[in-house]
Protein backbone atom coordinates (compact mmCIF):
# COMPACT_ATOMS: atom_id res chain seq x y z
CA UNK A 1 0.00 0.00 0.00
CA UNK A 2 1.39 3.41 -0.99
CA UNK A 3 1.27 6.72 0.82
CA UNK A 4 -2.06 8.30 1.62
CA UNK A 5 -3.46 10.85 -0.81
CA UNK A 6 -4.50 14.40 0.06
CA UNK A 7 -8.10 13.17 0.22
CA UNK A 8 -7.03 10.61 2.86
CA UNK A 9 -4.94 13.06 4.90
CA UNK A 10 -5.96 13.98 8.45
CA UNK A 11 -8.67 16.62 8.57
CA UNK A 12 -7.85 18.07 12.00
CA UNK A 13 -4.95 18.51 14.37
CA UNK A 14 -5.95 18.22 18.01
CA UNK A 15 -3.40 19.14 20.67
CA UNK A 16 -4.34 17.70 24.05
CA UNK A 17 -3.11 19.61 27.10
CA UNK A 18 -3.42 17.74 30.38
CA UNK A 19 -3.95 20.19 33.22
CA UNK A 20 -4.48 19.85 36.97
CA UNK A 21 -6.26 23.25 37.11
CA UNK A 22 -8.89 22.72 34.44
CA UNK A 23 -10.98 25.78 35.36
CA UNK A 24 -8.00 28.15 35.16
CA UNK A 25 -6.81 26.66 31.86
CA UNK A 26 -10.33 26.91 30.41
CA UNK A 27 -10.59 30.53 31.54
CA UNK A 28 -7.24 31.31 29.91
CA UNK A 29 -7.83 29.66 26.52
CA UNK A 30 -11.58 30.26 26.15
CA UNK A 31 -12.18 33.50 28.03
CA UNK A 32 -8.85 35.38 27.79
CA UNK A 33 -7.79 34.22 24.31
CA UNK A 34 -11.36 34.03 22.97
CA UNK A 35 -11.09 30.50 21.54
CA UNK A 36 -14.64 29.25 20.77
CA UNK A 37 -15.72 26.04 22.52
CA UNK A 38 -17.46 23.10 20.85
CA UNK A 39 -19.40 20.28 22.54
CA UNK A 40 -17.19 17.47 23.85
CA UNK A 41 -17.91 14.16 25.60
CA UNK A 42 -16.84 13.36 29.16
CA UNK A 43 -18.29 10.90 31.67
CA UNK A 44 -18.76 12.39 35.16
CA UNK A 45 -16.97 13.82 38.19
CA UNK A 46 -13.36 14.78 37.49
CA UNK A 47 -13.55 13.58 33.86
CA UNK A 48 -13.70 16.98 32.16
CA UNK A 49 -12.72 18.05 28.67
CA UNK A 50 -13.12 21.16 26.54
CA UNK A 51 -12.40 21.37 22.82
CA UNK A 52 -11.49 24.89 21.75
CA UNK A 53 -10.99 26.18 18.23
CA UNK A 54 -7.74 27.94 17.36
CA UNK A 55 -8.21 28.79 13.72
CA UNK A 56 -7.80 25.58 11.77
CA UNK A 57 -6.58 23.51 14.74
CA UNK A 58 -8.24 22.80 18.06
CA UNK A 59 -6.83 22.75 21.57
CA UNK A 60 -8.28 20.13 23.89
CA UNK A 61 -7.94 20.69 27.63
CA UNK A 62 -8.28 17.55 29.72
CA UNK A 63 -7.95 16.60 33.38
CA UNK A 64 -5.59 13.76 34.31
CA UNK A 65 -8.69 11.58 34.90
CA UNK A 66 -9.90 12.21 31.35
CA UNK A 67 -6.45 11.55 29.85
CA UNK A 68 -6.27 8.21 31.73
CA UNK A 69 -9.81 7.35 30.54
CA UNK A 70 -8.87 7.97 26.90
CA UNK A 71 -5.62 6.01 27.37
CA UNK A 72 -7.71 3.08 28.61
CA UNK A 73 -10.26 3.40 25.80
CA UNK A 74 -7.50 3.46 23.18
CA UNK A 75 -5.54 0.77 25.04
CA UNK A 76 -2.52 3.07 24.92
CA UNK A 77 0.15 3.63 27.57
CA UNK A 78 0.09 6.86 29.52
CA UNK A 79 3.13 8.83 28.31
CA UNK A 80 5.61 10.36 30.70
CA UNK A 81 7.69 13.41 30.04
CA UNK A 82 7.41 17.14 29.63
CA UNK A 83 4.20 18.92 28.84
CA UNK A 84 3.96 20.47 25.40
CA UNK A 85 4.80 23.96 24.26
CA UNK A 86 2.36 25.41 21.76
CA UNK A 87 2.43 28.36 19.39
CA UNK A 88 -0.66 30.33 18.43
CA UNK A 89 -0.72 32.72 15.48
CA UNK A 90 -2.43 35.98 16.41
CA UNK A 91 -3.41 39.10 14.49
CA UNK A 92 -1.48 41.45 16.79
CA UNK A 93 1.19 40.13 19.17
CA UNK A 94 1.43 43.37 21.19
CA UNK A 95 -2.34 43.46 21.81
CA UNK A 96 -2.36 39.76 22.74
CA UNK A 97 0.56 40.26 25.14
CA UNK A 98 -1.32 43.05 26.92
CA UNK A 99 -4.48 40.92 27.28
CA UNK A 100 -2.63 37.79 28.39
CA UNK A 101 -0.44 39.71 30.87
CA UNK A 102 -3.55 41.39 32.30
CA UNK A 103 -5.03 37.92 32.90
CA UNK A 104 -2.18 37.17 35.27
CA UNK A 105 -0.25 34.72 33.08
CA UNK A 106 3.52 34.81 33.57
CA UNK A 107 5.38 36.33 30.62
CA UNK A 108 8.53 34.31 29.91
CA UNK A 109 9.93 36.44 27.10
CA UNK A 110 9.36 39.91 25.69
CA UNK A 111 8.02 40.54 22.20
CA UNK A 112 10.84 39.60 19.83
CA UNK A 113 11.15 40.35 16.11
CA UNK A 114 12.50 37.03 14.84
CA UNK A 115 14.85 36.45 11.90
CA UNK A 116 12.00 34.56 10.20
CA UNK A 117 9.85 37.72 10.21
CA UNK A 118 7.42 37.13 13.05
CA UNK A 119 6.74 38.96 16.30
CA UNK A 120 6.87 36.38 19.11
CA UNK A 121 6.26 36.45 22.86
CA UNK A 122 6.11 33.49 25.24
CA UNK A 123 3.97 32.95 28.35
CA UNK A 124 3.51 30.24 30.92
CA UNK A 125 -0.12 29.20 30.58
CA UNK A 126 -2.26 27.54 33.25
CA UNK A 127 -1.36 23.87 33.44
CA UNK A 128 2.34 24.57 32.94
CA UNK A 129 2.38 24.74 29.13
CA UNK A 130 4.53 27.34 27.45
CA UNK A 131 2.59 29.27 24.79
CA UNK A 132 4.26 31.35 22.11
CA UNK A 133 2.07 33.96 20.47
CA UNK A 134 3.31 34.92 17.01
CA UNK A 135 2.31 37.41 14.35
CA UNK A 136 3.39 36.78 10.75
CA UNK A 137 5.04 39.85 9.22
CA UNK A 138 5.21 38.56 5.66
CA UNK A 139 3.18 36.24 3.46
CA UNK A 140 4.08 32.65 2.74
CA UNK A 141 5.02 33.69 -0.84
CA UNK A 142 7.37 36.38 0.47
CA UNK A 143 8.91 33.95 2.95
CA UNK A 144 9.31 31.21 0.34
CA UNK A 145 11.26 33.61 -1.90
CA UNK A 146 13.79 34.43 0.84
CA UNK A 147 17.04 32.53 1.27
CA UNK A 148 16.99 29.92 4.01
CA UNK A 149 13.33 28.99 3.63
CA UNK A 150 12.59 25.62 2.04
CA UNK A 151 10.89 22.33 2.72
CA UNK A 152 12.65 19.23 3.98
CA UNK A 153 12.31 17.69 0.49
CA UNK A 154 14.06 20.68 -1.07
CA UNK A 155 16.91 20.42 1.45
CA UNK A 156 17.34 16.68 0.76
CA UNK A 157 17.75 17.35 -2.98
CA UNK A 158 20.46 19.98 -2.41
156: in domain: yes
Domain endpoint, select from 81, 113, 139: 81
**pTM of full prediction above 0.75:** no
Distance CA 29, CA 99 (A): 12
Position 62 pLDDT exceeds 80: yes
5: in domain: no
Each residue of 131-156: pLDDT tens digit?
888 899 998 888 778 776 666 555 45
Work out the end-to-end distance of the chain between its first and last CA atoms, rounded to an integer number of angstroms.
29
What CATH number has the domain bearing residue 44?
3.10.180.10
Domain endpoint, select from 81, 113, 140: 81
Domain endpoint, select from 41, 66, 81: 81
64: in domain: yes
Each residue of 110-120: pLDDT tens digit?
999 987 788 98
110 and 45 in one domain? no
Domain extent at residue 16: 10-81
CA distances from 136 to 9, 97, 116, 126, 144 (A): 26, 15, 9, 25, 13
By CB atoms closer than 10 A (0-12, 13-18, 19+), residue 130 is middle
- What is the mean pLDDT of the segment spanning 79-92? 75
99 and 77 in one domain? no
- Beta strand 112-113 with 118-124 is antiparallel
Residues β-bridged to residue 135: 119
Amino acid sequence: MGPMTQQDAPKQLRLIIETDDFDEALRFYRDVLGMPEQPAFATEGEDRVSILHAGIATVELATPTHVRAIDAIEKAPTPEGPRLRIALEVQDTEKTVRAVAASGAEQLSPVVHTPFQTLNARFLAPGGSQVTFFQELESLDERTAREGFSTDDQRARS
